[in-house]
Amino acid sequence: MELSRVSGHGPSEWWIEPHGEMRVPVVVYATESLVREMDEKVLEQACNVASLPGIVKAAYAMPDAHWGYGFPIGGVAAFDEEEGVISAGGVGFDISCGVRLLETPLTREQLEPLKELLANALYHAVPVGVGSRGRLHLDEAGLDAMLAGGARWAVERGFGTAADLPRIEEGGCMAGARPEYVSMRARQRQADEMGTLGSGNHYLEVQHVVHVEDAALAEAYGLREGQVVVSIHCGSRGLGHQIGTEYLREMAVEAAKHGIHLPDRELACAPIRSRVGQEYLGAMRAGINCALANRQIITHLVREVFERVTGVRELRLLFDVSHNTCKEEEHEVDGRRRRLFVHRKGATRAFGPGHPDLPAELRAVGQPVLIGGSMGTASYVLAGTRESEARAFSSSAHGAGRCKSRHEALREWRGRELVESLRRQGILIRSPSLRGVAEEAPGAYKDVVEVVDAAEEAGLSHKVARLEPLACIKG
């Protein structure tokens, strides 16, 4: 995009002042080169978000921002309960798509002789790909319990331990879930999909810590150079997509009923206090619990494989973060604390040191922030900062962010060539779809190093450790 459209307001910070129907400014956190590379549609969508009723402070775009449905992916916006709205497009279709990081006691040197065996075993143990089915089937009662209980439900059924729960957002269970507002079609899509990765940009990746950026924080997080870790990236599968699809249709009608002008139909929304708004909140929270339970089951499967292949089962959960959510949180606005509904679409919550919602053992150092790279590139562990509260409602980037569409990627890369190229670099890829591998080519994403540097320079999060892949299971 043209830099003339934005004005610099500090390190990696760019503004568009309110104009037209905008109620608040747009704030983009990115380096100059990342801004230049952004699609013009990102600013257009962010300006549209800034025009919605009840929006507070600004509409934000993270360093990894790119074009999305209604809201840009990498978009953050908070709304007042009295006058504000909730938008299914501001949450996204893959509700609570997120990342969790498991720490192992193994080093890369110890794992290397077993790497191929481990990659194959993980690929066969964790269902992956379009329409993948898990080993668990849930009836109506089981679905209700899962949607209400999240990861706690999974732990109660033997998938993991109670020690995992404090290391998951919301303690592993999103309060206020209303399974009765999840449709029969959404339930049918999810009945056999628990414990599955799905497709697209989802992955299960065995990584190692190649560099510690902050020794004190790394020690507090239990990370050390050379250590093997496992990253799980997936969400609420078919259920979340169905919830988003259905409520977007309802919200388009609801917005008109309440006289809300939509600059883009994809911004369909409903007043938070309306019937549709409250029903979507209940269904969306159930979708969050679905994703948390899904990642918890996959964690159990990963631990089983590690025990069988390496003899090690104690894979400690560092943290589990969600990306596509709307959460009711308390933030300071104009000198006073207010309850707000914070949409984070392709953005990560990043609570800083001292936040009461963090587990006791992490409260002094801040929340781990997990920023995933693209297939074959680095990922990062960062820490939430105190400054992020004022900068963007305690939010940070969530990944590298696409710079080329899947269609463009298919024209430029071939899956088999990518698999062989990465193997020569010591990175094993396991996937049921070479087309899917091509769509997720590393070159189709922004430079994750620049994204992470921008997040730190803007004060959104602070670098702790750099991770690089050894084996990647892709959808």
Dist CA 136 CA 133 (whole Å): 8
Which residues have CB under 8 Å from 226's CB, separation 6+? 107, 108, 109, 208, 209
Is 202 annotated in the active site?
no
Dist CA 240 CA 13 (whole Å): 33
Strand 428-430, strand 461-474: pairing:
parallel
157 CB-contact burial (10 Å; exposed 0-12 / middle 13-18 / buried 19+): middle
Dist CA 272 CA 448 (whole Å): 35
User: How many C-beta atoms surround the C-beta of residue 346 within 10 A?
Assistant: 26
Strands in 398-458 per DSSP E? 428-430
Question: Do residues 251 and 92 lie in contact, with contact meaning Cβ atoms separated by under 8 Å?
Answer: no
Dist CA 367 CA 387 (whole Å): 13
Dist CA 463 CA 320 (whole Å): 17
Catalytic member of 137, 398, 407, 462: 398
Residue 328: both structure tokens together: 């009711």
Question: Do residues 190 and 211 lie in contact, with contact meaning Cβ atoms separated by under 8 Å?
Answer: no
Residues with catalytic roles: 398
